[in-house]
Amino acid sequence: MVLLEARNVGYKYPRSDDQSISQVSLALNSNSLNVIIGPSGIGKSTLLNLIAGYAMPQAGELLMNGARITQASWQRGIVFQDMALYPWLNVSQNITFGPRMRKLPATQIEQRLTSLLTQTGLLDFKNKYVYELSGGLRQRVALAREFINQPAILMLDESFSALDNHIRKEMHQILLDLWTSSGNCVIVITHDIDEALFLGQKIIVMNGDPGTIKQTVVNPYFKSNFDDMTSNMAYFDFRRALLALIE
């Protein structure tokens, strides 16, 4: 069932050099992992901002469950590249921020917190302040903060790009595990082809000026690690074709 639909969406930032988008159309289902890939500055983050409800499309429309998106909502969570964790709160307080603001019952919050701290390996750090954590652990906090809220759509805006390769792979696995148990619609923005191939059931290629969706590709190599595919020629052909689309 289509959860999120964009119909010919267009947007240009007023008095800004930020990339605009035009004629963007897509349809995403719940319980799906989607990757939007494209060169830097093509308008991928602009599209996420529109889906999040931080800005309204100047052309076309964005619908969630058939209703037009008009403002930000906990139903559409977002993890920024800089994570935007609150340094004055500790790990548990950061993670439970959303449910506390939504006034969910304390027992429910506690249950979800314990489960997520275990899943993300943050149990030992729950009382630490976020500035005391490494980049990888902070990313786990940022993911847990979103998953605890159980949004219908979760967006990750180049969230793993600043991490080193080893930690990035760890984060990919944590994201996959969390997504499997939550079943929400995840949209990952990246410019890393291998990240896209590993995380995307569906890979959406953006390109052009103004940015638009060039092609949507169903990924037969979803959850396949680049390192494990070195002898698979079909994988490399697919990867090469995808790269050509991006460039």
Partner 1 sequence: MKKTGKLKYLSISLLTITVLIMIWTLVTGLDLLPEVLLPSLGKIGNTFVKLWHFGYGGVALYTHYLITMQRLLIAVLCAIVLGIPLGLMSGYVPLIKAIVDPLIQFIRPIPPLAYYTLLILWLGIGETSKITLLFLAALPPIYIACFDSVTRIDLEYLQSASSLGASRWQIFCNIVFPAAVPDIFTGLRSAVGVAYTTIVSAEMIAASSGIGWMIIDSSHYLKSDVMFIGIILLGVTGVLIDQLLKRLELHFVHWEGKK
Residues that bind partner 1 (CB under 8 A): 52-54, 71-74, 76-78, 80, 82, 84, 86-88, 97-99, 101-102, 129, 131, 145-146, 149, 151
Beta sheet of 202-207, edge-to-edge order = 76-79, 153-157, 185-190, 32-37, 202-207, 212-218
98/211 with CB nearer partner 1? 98
224 φ, ψ to 5°? -95, 125
Half-sphere exposure of 60 (CA within 13 A, CB side): 21
74/235 with CB nearer partner 1? 74
56/234 with CB nearer partner 1? 56
Of 177, 167, 176, nearest to 198 (Cα)? Answer: 176
124/132 with CB nearer partner 1? 132
**CA–CA gap between residue 164 and residue 166 (Å, rounded):** 6
The nearest distance, CB 233 to partner 1, in angstroms, is 42
The nearest distance, CB 149 to partner 1, in angstroms, is 6
The nearest distance, CB 151 to partner 1, in angstroms, is 8
The nearest distance, CB 131 to partner 1, in angstroms, is 4
67 φ, ψ to 5°? -105, 140
